[in-house]
Amino acid sequence: MTDFPLLNLFLTMLWFFIWILWLMLLFRIIADIFRDDSMGGWGKTGWTVFVCLLPFLGVFVYLVARGRDMGERELRHARRQEEAFRSYVREAAESPPGGGAGTGHADELAKLAGLREQGDLTAEEYERAKTRVLAG
């Protein structure tokens, strides 16, 4: 017979997942502090010290004071990353074939088809890039 009944196992798992959730929240708040461009250096320093020295109080005060804007900042960051990725894909698709890589038309068309299949290029972008490759 064990000294660790099933209920204790469930409670231990619950506390473990709550601890993991707490760490994820703490790291997300620290990342949000450093990602926010509207806050100056002293503001970032103050929030970081507050969150690190008094983590429970610091996290809860941060969520009350700045929590509403966290999602908006995260969304803006994701949009900037997505736009940067899409512009990189467009530039790569619109560059002349063999531009330093030594590839031919068939390789460029294969790359474009792969990008379209992955969903990185829309059908219109694919057709424009394909006509540029074939015209060049």
Separation between Cα atoms, residue 92 and residue 74, nearest integer Å: 27
Domain count, the chain: 1
Separation between Cα atoms, residue 131 and residue 136, nearest integer Å: 8
Alpha helices in 36-122 (DSSP H): 41-53, 55-94, 105-118
Residue 93 is assigned to a structural domain of this protein: no
Separation between Cα atoms, residue 86 and residue 92, nearest integer Å: 10
Query: Which residues form the domain of 50?
Result: 1-68
pLDDT digits 0-9 by tens, 71-114: 888 888 889 899 988 888 888 877 655 554 445 777 788 888 88
pLDDT digits 0-9 by tens, 65-81: 888 888 888 888 889 89
Residue 130 is assigned to a structural domain of this protein: no
Residue 113 is assigned to a structural domain of this protein: no
Residue 40 is assigned to a structural domain of this protein: yes
Residue 2 is assigned to a structural domain of this protein: yes
